[in-house]
Structure 1
């Protein structure tokens, strides 16, 4: 079964590029500009979430905190994507598992995703 990546990214072009890159790596992806409700992403059962720090002028780290409080999503690794200078601190404060600075290096992004999903058991 393919590992699943949920991409929550405000910028449509970045969302599409990340989706294409991860699909080429064999991942199943679901990309959204912003979930209306966390309940809508639970059925996708992501193995990892890539989360933009700026979602329609709202901080993504607040969404990260909410994700970590939902039982069905709490153990899902979250990687924060951002241009913010203090992204490392932001990721730490919201209990994200890692961060990626934009503009990102494709190989670095793939390596971080692979490292985090490889530590999660397959869901059958």
Structure 2
């Protein structure tokens, strides 16, 4: 059973690159610039969320906090992607499981995704 990664990224090019990289690694992906409502994430049942800190209408860390408050989503690990200098602090404050600095290295993003999804119980 393939692990699922939800990619929430404002930049379409980055979104497509990350999706391609993860698909090549055997992950099932769903990508979007920004969910209109968190209920649209629930049916996909991701094993991990990659979340851009700078999305269209709100900061990604606010969306991260909302994800952590929704019963059906709160146990899903979140990795924040950002160019922000204080990304480590942002990730800590929004209860993200990890962070990746942009521009990212392909081996770094794949390594962190694999590390987090492989230390997580399988979703049924």
Place the TM-score, normalised by the shorter chain, in its bin: over 0.9
| 1:27-56 superposed Cα distances (whole Å, 9 cap, x missing partner) | 000000000000001000000000000001
Runs of 4 or more, structure 1, over 3 Å off, are none
TM-score under structure 1 normalisation?
0.98
| Gaps in structure 1 of 5+ consecutive residues | none
1:25 Cα offset (Å): 0.2
TM-score under structure 2 normalisation?
0.98
1:104 aligns with 2:104: yes
Deviates more, 1:15-24 or 1:56-65: 56-65
Report the 3-state secondary structure (helix = DSSP H, G, I; strand = E; otherwise coil) of the residue aligned with 1:117: helix
- Cα distance between partner residues in 2 of 1:118 and 1:35: 26
Task: Give 1:4's aligned residue.
Answer: 4
1:21 aligns with 2:21: yes
Task: Give 1:79's aligned residue.
Answer: 79
Task: Give 2:45's aligned residue.
Answer: 45
Task: Give 2:33's aligned residue.
Answer: 33
1:123 Cα offset (Å): 2.1
- Cα distance between partner residues in 2 of 1:79 and 1:42: 17
Report the 3-state secondary structure (helix = DSSP H, G, I; strand = E; otherwise coil) of the residue aligned with 2:7: strand
| Gaps in structure 2 of 5+ consecutive residues | none
When the two structures are aligned, how many residues end up with a matched partner? Answer: 124
Task: Give 1:94's aligned residue.
Answer: 94
- Cα distance between partner residues in 2 of 1:39 and 1:57: 18
